[in-house]
Amino acid sequence: MLENDLVNATAPTASIDPSPLRANTSDTVQQTVEAMAMAVKTYALVYSGEILEGVFGYANVAQATAELADLSQVLVEQWMTPLSQLQPSGPALAWPLTMSALYPGQLYLSVVDQARHWLGLLAPDGFYTLPRFTAAAATDQAELTACHYSVALFQQQQERLALALKGAQMGTWDWDLAQGTITISEEQERLLGLTPDEFGGTYDTLFTHVHEDDQTTVQQALQQAIQLGQHYEIEFRVLHSDGQLRWLSSRGQVFKDGEHAPRLAGVTLDISEQKRVEAKIKLQSQRERLVAEIAQRIRRLLDLDSILEQTVTSVREFIEADRVIVVQCEADLSGQVIQEACSPSYPPMLGWVMRDPWSVGEKFLAHYRAGRGLAVEDIYTQNLPASQLGFLEYFQIQAEIVVPLLQDQTLWGLLIAHHCQAPRAWRMADVRLLQSLATQVGIAIQQAKMHRELTLANQQLRRMAYLDGLTQVANRRRLEQYLDQEWRRMSREDGSIALIMADIDCFKGYNDRYGHQAGDICLRLVARILTRAAKRPGDLVARYGGEEFVIVLPNTYLEGAESVAEDIRLMIRSHRIPHEESVVAKVVTLSLGVASAQPASGGSSADLIKQADEALYTAKNEGRDQVRVASPKRSR
């Protein structure tokens, strides 16, 4: 069974009100009337705790007003119609089985007509309504009394409704679409910023003070409601004559019943406070999101410069500053601007070295070390020395916020926002934003420092892992890794790779004659000469073991590698390192073996090493101090 079928015994257009207005016996009459106006209800059910005590409607308001009751003081229970005074209307109605499911726990259901006027209460034992006039008096007198009563009740309802609407700061308006005339309440007039003689009763003068950016929106919403005969709901701004900007919310609908002229009626509320709270919440949300975004970047990025750059850019946009800088401070409190976001209208400060930043005086250091910032609304109220004032004027700084950047409780730098157009009354939210960001930047500084230290440590470890400790050229492990890497690359590119294997002649005799310390010096000198000979970035010099060295030459054919080997041999001789125990010459010499291969044709890097080693063996057996190439010789 549907709701509209529940009360056919009373009126075919009656229905259950699923959300009756509740009032408490301890509420005043004025509080209840205002609640009824806000909820657009013609009645209120009055409860004492969870027990229904009675019904209060505009008839009760009229009675209280007629007896000059103080509506702001008397309680609603004194003027309500008690539940016991409601009278049954006709025979008892059957309580539908679906009622308990539709309205669990409710013994009394409010019944209203199509216009939402209260008719009575539906209970399991019948339908109860307000007391009616009895037939004891004469019929004419009863009808006249009822008529007078109805008129008085209507007038009192109108007065109380107007009072309630005014108390709720709600304006009403009624637009006769046929005649083109508009009637508005005093409160509506006040809300729209209209003076008593300013509104002429026409559409053209109704929205005189609507903000120019919202006029089109308001007019389109009303025209659409008229054309489609539908409900409208809009929010817009009104600029009052005193310069005050207010936010209003208006809602209403078109009424076309065929019997009366079509009209558009609605109500208007002042929602400025709501908008102010929404703006504050939005600003707080934006601030928290900005801090969260920068914190997230810090967790992702390890580059301090990038983090600082994004920080100054975000802060400048968010608080609408003319310039935001990061100053890195030295121990003597001098500093340098290392990051900046600046409006093109003002001189940049990036790279500027400040010998004595005025905002880092002794009186501020205690605040900075505690992580607290400083907000200056007007530099001309700070009693600054002429030199400091001249510095600020040069950069057109008139107001600023300064917050410290701390690292391990030490003042690392400053995050500063400048306002250059004029002095500025900073909001506490702006200062808190910079302080929150300064905390995140402090974490970034520490993180970047740790990352740099870790990077340096890893680089040192890599050097130790891949460099020969004595000669500082690649060790054998690095040689094998690099040769394998280049072998695969040349295989993909169908290129050639060459290898030179060099050995210091008679090096055991050198150590025996001059000592191992001199031998180490000789090895280092030979390694430097080989490094200078390997001129291309891709060439690699490695110590193969003892007095043997290997040079890897990617993209090199046998002839080119042979030429490089001969140059190396001559360079070693030209240095004329004494070697009295040599059977070749009285200076240090090298024997060199050269091999080349095309990896795409097959073979392996191990085969290439073997070929170069065999060529070196040939060079040593045939007299040393010479270059020999692997056989068979391969050329392009």
| Same-domain pairing of 296 and 431 | yes
Q: pLDDT tens for residues 430-441? A: 888 888 878 877
User: Which of 21, 208, 227 is CA-nearest to residue 110?
Assistant: 21
Query: In this predicted structure, which of 243-252, 271-280, 352-361 has the lowest mean pLDDT?
Result: 352-361
Integer Cα distance of 401 and 410 in angstroms: 20
Work out the average pLDDT over 587-598: 95
**Cis-peptide, bond into residue 632, ω within 30° of zero:** yes
Residue 159 domain-assigned (yes or no): no
pLDDT the model gives residue 156:
52
Query: In this structure, are residues 299 and 311 in contact, taking their beta carbons and an 8 Å threshold?
Result: no
| Same-domain pairing of 137 and 182 | no
Residue 96 domain-assigned (yes or no): yes
Query: In this structure, are residues 337 and 327 in contact, taking their beta carbons and an 8 Å threshold?
Result: yes
pLDDT the model gives residue 153:
47
Residue 527 domain-assigned (yes or no): yes
| Same-domain pairing of 297 and 238 | no
Which residues, in sequence order, are CB contacts of 396 under 8 Å at separation 6+? Answer: 346, 347, 420
| Same-domain pairing of 322 and 265 | no
pLDDT the model gives residue 453:
78
Please tell me the pTM assigned to this model: 0.41
pLDDT the model gives residue 134:
40
Measuring CA to CA, how many Å separate 489 from each of 117, 483, 496, 538, 550?
90, 10, 10, 12, 19
Residue where one domain finishes, among candidates 212, 243, 270: 270
Neighbour-count burial for 161-187, b at 16+ CB within 10 Å, e otherwise: bebbbbbbebbbbbbbeeeeebebbeb
**Does residue 537 register a pLDDT over 80?**
yes
CATH of the domain at 345: 3.30.450.40
Percent of the chain with pLDDT over 70: 85
Integer Cα distance of 269 and 274 in angstroms: 11
pLDDT the model gives residue 140:
41
| Same-domain pairing of 257 and 289 | no
Residue 434 domain-assigned (yes or no): yes
DSSP strand pairing (231-239 vs 323-329): unpaired
**Does residue 368 register a pLDDT over 80?**
no
Average pLDDT taken over every residue of the chain: 82
Work out the average pLDDT over 440-457: 77
What's the domain range around 619?
476-629
| 3-state SS string for 408-434 | CCEEEEEEEEEECCCCCCCCHHHHHHH
Task: Specify the 3-state DSSP secondary structure of 10.
Answer: coil
Sign for the pseudo-dihedral over CA of 290, 293, 299, 302: negative
Which residues, in sequence order, are CB contacts of 72 under 8 Å at separation 6+? Answer: 28, 29, 30
CATH of the domain at 255: 3.30.450.20
Query: In this structure, are residues 413 and 328 in contact, taking their beta carbons and an 8 Å threshold?
Result: yes
DSSP strand pairing (22-24 vs 43-48): parallel
Query: In this predicted structure, which of 2-6, 136-140, 271-275 has the lowest mean pLDDT?
Result: 2-6
Give the side-chain half-sphere CA count within 13 A for 93.
Answer: 22
pLDDT the model gives residue 133:
43
Residue 162 domain-assigned (yes or no): no
| Same-domain pairing of 145 and 188 | no
Measuring CA to CA, how many Å separate 635 from each of 341, 547, 631?
61, 30, 11
List, as own/partner pairs, every contact residues 268-274 make where C-beta atoms lie below 8 angstroms and the sequence separation is at least 24, other chains included: 268/170, 268/171, 268/172, 268/173, 268/188, 268/191, 268/192, 269/168, 269/169, 269/170, 269/171, 269/191, 270/169, 270/191, 270/246, 271/235, 271/247, 272/245, 272/246, 272/247, 274/247
Give the side-chain half-sphere CA count within 13 A for 70.
Answer: 3
Work out the average pLDDT over 208-220: 89
Residue 459 domain-assigned (yes or no): no
Query: In this predicted structure, which of 45-49, 93-97, 351-355, 413-417 has the lowest mean pLDDT?
Result: 93-97
| Same-domain pairing of 132 and 175 | no
Q: pLDDT tens for residues 279-334? A: 777 877 777 777 777 767 666 656 778 878 888 888 888 888 999 999 888 777 67
Paired tokens of 537 = 């970035």
**Does residue 267 register a pLDDT over 70?**
yes
Give Dmax (Cα) for the chain: 155
Q: Say how many Å lie between the first and final Cα of the chain, rounded.
A: 99
Residues facing 499 on adjacent strands: 552, 595
Q: pLDDT tens for residues 83-134? A: 988 887 655 445 555 555 556 667 788 888 777 788 888 887 778 888 754 4
Helix axes 476-493, 605-621, angle to 10 degrees: 120
Q: Is 331 exposed, middle or buried (0-12, 13-18, 19+ CB in 10 A)?
A: exposed
Which residues, in sequence order, are CB contacts of 227 under 8 Å at separation 6+? Answer: none
Q: pLDDT tens for residues 601-635? A: 888 999 999 999 999 999 999 999 999 999 754 44
Mean pLDDT highest for which of 72-76, 205-209, 358-362, 628-632?
Answer: 72-76
Query: In this structure, are residues 79 and 69 in contact, taking their beta carbons and an 8 Å threshold?
Result: yes
Query: In this predicted structure, which of 4-13, 385-394, 558-567 has the lowest mean pLDDT?
Result: 4-13
| Same-domain pairing of 413 and 480 | no
| Same-domain pairing of 259 and 115 | no
**Does residue 41 register a pLDDT over 70?**
yes
pLDDT the model gives residue 319:
84
| Same-domain pairing of 381 and 494 | no
| Same-domain pairing of 10 and 130 | yes
pLDDT the model gives residue 86:
87
Residues facing 335 on adjacent strands: 329, 354
Please name the residue that has the structure tokens 């209970």.
123
Residue where one domain finishes, among candidates 95, 123, 151: 151
pLDDT the model gives residue 52:
92
Percent of the chain with pLDDT over 90: 34
Query: In this structure, are residues 336 and 353 in contact, taking their beta carbons and an 8 Å threshold?
Result: yes
Residue 33 domain-assigned (yes or no): yes
Measuring CA to CA, how many Å separate 8 from each of 2, 88, 99, 245, 595?
11, 15, 15, 51, 110
Query: In this structure, are residues 534 and 595 in contact, taking their beta carbons and an 8 Å threshold?
Result: no
Q: Between residues 261 and 335, which one has the greater pLDDT?
A: 335
pLDDT the model gives residue 265:
85
Residue numbers annotated as active site:
547
Specify the DSSP element, H or E, that contains 236: strand 231-239
Q: How many domains, the chain?
A: 4
Sign for the pseudo-dihedral over CA of 179, 183, 188, 194: positive
| Same-domain pairing of 131 and 184 | no
Integer Cα distance of 478 and 486 in angstroms: 12
Residue 456 domain-assigned (yes or no): no
Residue where one domain finishes, among candidates 417, 451, 485: 451
